[in-house]
Amino acid sequence: MPPHKPSLKVGIPVMLLRNIDQSASLCNETRLRITYTGKNFIRPITLNGRSTGDQVLIHRMDMNLLETTLLFKMVKRQFPFIISFAMTINKSQGQSLTKVDLYLSRSVFTHGQLHVALSRVKNMDGLKILVLNSDSKPTNVT
């Protein structure tokens, strides 16, 4: 028994790390929300892609370490996703979101990055922005 317990709970957002089924939109970086957790499988619903709102079953998979200096083959059995509460501006490109909370701890690199971040939200009511100045105080300028 490992010294820690996974903290996967119903309602938590996760991001898929493997291409499982491209025809069902279960590709790398697909966002999911967990609706049921079991010992060997999890039932999430998809939050983006062509099959938004569909329930799928995802089982534990063998994660092999291909490049290793060990003399034996190591196999790790785990779920193929990570908990995903935040994403970078670049990862959000090409997605439409109902709520976007934008946290700018420093100025954005280019005007294009700010445009990408602001254009992800479907409705302006779902947009919240927090901009901090050099003294880590909230401001309305970036």
pLDDT tens figures, 2-19: 555 556 788 888 888 878
Q: Which of 95, 141, 103, 140 is nearest to 119 (CA)?
A: 95
Q: Is the pLDDT of residue 85 over 60?
A: yes
The rounded distance, in Å, linking the Cα atoms of 45 and 120 is 21
Q: Are strands 100-104 and 127-132 parallel, antiparallel or unpaired?
A: parallel
Q: How far apart are CA 34 and CA 58, in angstroms?
A: 10
Q: What is the pLDDT of residue 115?
A: 81
Share of residues in the chain with pLDDT > 70 (%): 82
Report pLDDT for 35: 93
Higher per-residue confidence, 23 vs 68: 23
- Tell me the C-alpha distance between 124 and 70, whole Å: 53
